């Protein structure tokens, strides 16, 4: 039975991967290369609660300039609260601000955005890998071309596969492989178009847990985004750097250093 369940989950993941490839090939019209980066700072509050702050930005090439780092198209700040209900369930919420810059070369006008989200993740923990499914509902307040903020409701469903490479467990000194596929659906709006399907995002890459409080992850992201009059296809490299209990650990290191007056003669 365990082997059958394992095969079902792998087939489910492959299905999402094939759907992603089909979507990105069938409707592409405009292609862009981008680089996304995010710094994640988490702090453990108790056995059940964790807070988190994300600082991110995105860069893109343009039809006139092939340099992927030429244009900064977005900056964002997110503040999270995570509740670990059980080993299988994790519930989260965040409030975020996204500054989407005015970049006519890629069809983007200045559209600041406030975003609130509720999220749940269910984990299938196995000895050699972890399979999870994430459900997220977002309420977005985005400024359109008429300088009016409009409400956009969006639902996101993701499936994610994570496997340690040089160990059976995720711990210090371990490399891991990660891959995911996510489907977005939304309400109609001037800023995001009238289509119900918002986008499909496939990501695959690897990470390294440098210490118990510091890890790095680099992934390739293929994102297909249909709109009313055009479709866009993004090939992006995403770099994520995570610091756990950063301020707490920094204070401990400072406190552990001996004062100059305490040094021996």
Counting Cα atoms < 13 Å in the Cβ hemisphere of 219 gives 24
Please, are residues 77 and 83 in contact by the beta-carbon 8 Å criterion?
Answer: no
Nearest to 175 by CA among 133, 127, 215: 215
Domain architecture of the chain: domains with CATH: 2-253 (2.40.160.40)
* pLDDT tens-place string over residues 12-31: 555 555 555 554 444 446 88
Q: How many CA atoms lie within 13 A of 96 on its CB side?
A: 27
How confident is the model at residue 202, as a pLDDT?
A: 96
**For residue range 82-124, what is the model confidence (pLDDT) as tens digits?**
999 999 999 999 999 999 988 877 777 888 999 999 999 999 9
Q: Where are the beta strands (DSSP E) in the chain?
A: 30-44, 49-60, 71-84, 89-100, 113-125, 130-143, 149-164, 175-186, 197-211, 214-226, 231-244
Instruction: With CA atoms as reference, report the closest residue to 60 among 246, 221, 263, 256.
Output: 221
With H, G, I as helix, E, B as strand and everything else as coil, classify residue 103. Answer: strand
Confidence at 142, pLDDT banded by 50, 70, 90: very high
- Does this model's pTM top 0.75? My answer is yes
Residue 242, CB half-sphere, CA atoms under 13 Å: how many? 16
Compute the distance between CA of residue 238 and CA of residue 41 in angstroms, rounded to an integer.
17
């Amino acid at each position: 039975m365990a082997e059958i369940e394992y095969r079902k989950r792998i087939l489910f993941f492959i299905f999402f991967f094939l759907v992603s490839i089909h979507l990105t090939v069938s409707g592409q019209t405009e292609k862009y290369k981008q680089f996304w980066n995010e710094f994640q700072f988490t702090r453990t509050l108790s056995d059940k609660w964790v807070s988190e702050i994300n600082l991110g930005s995105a860069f893109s090439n343009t039809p006139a300039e092939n340099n992927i780092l030429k244009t900064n198209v977005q900056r964002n700040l997110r503040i999270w609260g995570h509740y670990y209900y059980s080993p299988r369930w994790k519930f989260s919420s965040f409030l975020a601000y996204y500054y989407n810059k005015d970049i006519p070369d890629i069809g983007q006008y200045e559209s600041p955005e406030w975003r609130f989200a509720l999220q749940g993740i269910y984990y299938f923990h196995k000895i050699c890998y972890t399979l999870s499914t994430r459900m997220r509902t977002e309420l977005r307040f985005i400024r359109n071309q008429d300088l009016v903020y409009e409400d956009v409701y969006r639902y996101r469903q993701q499936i994610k596969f994570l496997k340690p490479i040089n160990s059976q467990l995720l711990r210090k000194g371990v490399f891991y492989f990660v891959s995911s596929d996510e489907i977005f659906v939304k309400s109609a709006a001037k800023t995001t178009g009238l289509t119900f399907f918002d986008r499909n995002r496939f990501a695959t890459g690897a990470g390294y847990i440098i210490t118990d409080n510091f890890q790095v992850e680099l992934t390739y992201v293929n994102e297909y985004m249909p709109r009313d009059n055009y479709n866009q296809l993004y090939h992006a490299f995403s770099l994520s750097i995570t610091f756990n209990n950063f301020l707490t650990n920094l204070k401990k290191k400072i406190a552990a250093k001996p004062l100059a007056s305490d040094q021996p003669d």
